[in-house]
A and B are shown apart, each in its own frame.
Chain A
């Protein structure tokens, strides 16, 4: 596997607020990566750094071997679909398409036409007059038809209905299968999208919480349940993410996939079940919130708090 982009000890500060704190990670070429995290976690900042919209306070961002900031060789290979993309006032849908066609070297007009029809977009209408969902659909059409070697979708489907979201997933998969490229999607709809992902990058208050292959996560996230004492002793021996208890029974999410761990759980009389990426991500983000609150009295930690 080769990396399409990488962050090396990247810290990003805005006026006393730390958006990213010592982030080191790589985005593998020709994979679909899910950039997950709560609001304000730093997802958009990471995308802005990748696309040269910002320069890191410290550390290095490399995209296709170069620094993206004001680097045309890199930027021409990128397509960034922003969460609330603004278009010039008088732009109609067809104007946005024409502009995109002239900007992206790998642009596929046939795909664009097909998607415009499938998303039922009125090409002659002013973009300002479109609904929130339709404006999102315009971004999706441009992002997919750009066929850019690195395409970033930042919350691409605000206001999109379930049918249009399904259409997006289907078209993304079909086109990605035929034209493999690097795709990064930030989203809150983890459950809907997790099957599409090859890699998961979870960030929380500017730090990387999870950076792993999606299938590895599915294999290593387990929910164990049973008598509270047994769950506690199993949790003590493994990477415990969360525990909930009621009436002497506990349920814990742990990260371990080894056969010995499963055997131990069975010997303790615990029920072991696989756990979805969504559940793991929520549990890890919540745990991080509680531990941070507990230690935030230390002044050194205040720098890491993003709000």
Chain B
């Protein structure tokens, strides 16, 4: 794990969320266990469990007693919705800050975005 990126349990949760968002971890499929995560990322199993529990609390994963954790139906849509709402704060705030620093106007940013928009 990245030692300079804050709590590891959060990094674990974000990685699993990424896998759900991009579809590599499908809904109703089994999530890795805390011991598997611990072994793979070489982290403390309690930390891995904390990451999983975070996702259970958020309703992204659910527990099946004695079997493990599974991706909830609707988890992908829920995560997409949250990420869309966080988009402005996460990406636009730093963009506007830097633009302000170097003297790029909002109109110029808009023009850049339109220019790029055709490519992606």
Residues of A that sit less than 8 Å from B by CB: 31-32, 169-170, 173-174, 176-178, 191, 194-198, 214-215, 218-219, 273-279
Encoded as 1 (CB less than 8 Å from any A CB) or 0, chain B from 40 to 70 comes to 0111111100100000000000000000000
* Contact present for A215 and B9 (CB under 8 Å): yes
Please name all residues of chain B whose beta carbon is closer than 8 Å to the beta carbon of A178 when the two chains form the complex: 35
Complex CA gap A277/B35 in Å reads 23
Answer whether A170 and B44 are a contact pair too, CB < 8 Å, given A276-B3, A277-B3. Answer: no
* Contact present for A218 and B46 (CB under 8 Å): no
CB distance from A181 to the nearest CB of B (A): 12
Identify 7 residue pairs between A and B in the complex whose beta-carbon atoms are under 8 Å apart, listed by A's number.
A169-B42, A170-B42, A214-B44, A215-B47, A218-B6, A218-B8, A219-B6
Answer whether A196 and B3 are a contact pair too, CB < 8 Å, given A215-B8, A215-B50. Answer: no
* Contact present for B45 and A274 (CB under 8 Å): no
Complex CA gap A237/B34 in Å reads 39
* Contact present for B1 and A195 (CB under 8 Å): yes
Answer whether A275 and B45 are a contact pair too, CB < 8 Å, given A170-B39, A177-B35, A177-B39. Answer: no
CB distance from B116 to the nearest CB of A (A): 26
User: Is B107 on the interface with A (CB-CB < 8 A)?
Assistant: no
- 7 nearest A-B pairs in the assembled complex, by CB-CB distance: A274-B6, A276-B3, A177-B35, A195-B43, A215-B7, A218-B7, A177-B45
Extra contacts, 15 of them, besides A170-B42, A173-B42 (Cβ < 8 A), are A169-B42, A173-B44, A174-B39, A177-B38, A177-B45, A191-B3, A195-B43, A195-B47, A214-B47, A218-B7, A219-B6, A219-B7, A274-B4, A274-B6, A277-B3
B44 interface neighbour in A174, A195, A219, Cβ under 8 Å: A195
Please classify how large the interface on chain B is, using the bins under 10, 10 to 19, 20 to 34, 35 or more.
20 to 34
Complex CA gap A215/B51 in Å reads 11
Please count the residue pairs between chain A and chain B whose beta carbons lie under 8 angstroms apart in the complex. 57
CB distance from A100 to the nearest CB of B (A): 26
* Contact present for B46 and A31 (CB under 8 Å): yes
* Contact present for B3 and A194 (CB under 8 Å): yes
Please name all residues of chain B whose beta carbon is closer than 8 Å to the beta carbon of A215 when the two chains form the complex: 7-9, 47, 50
Task: Give chain B interface residues in 24-45, CB to chain A under 8 Å.
Answer: 34-35, 38-39, 41-45
Which residue in chain A gives the minimum CB-CB distance to B46?
A: A198
Please name all residues of chain A whose beta carbon is closer than 8 Å to the beta carbon of B113 when the two chains form the complex: none
Please name all residues of chain A whose beta carbon is closer than 8 Å to the beta carbon of B112 when the two chains form the complex: none
Please name all residues of chain B whose beta carbon is closer than 8 Å to the beta carbon of A31 when the two chains form the complex: 46
Complex CA gap A245/B8 in Å reads 29
Which residue in chain B gives the minimum CB-CB distance to A221?
A: B6
CB distance from A109 to the nearest CB of B (A): 23
User: Is B110 on the interface with A (CB-CB < 8 A)?
Assistant: no
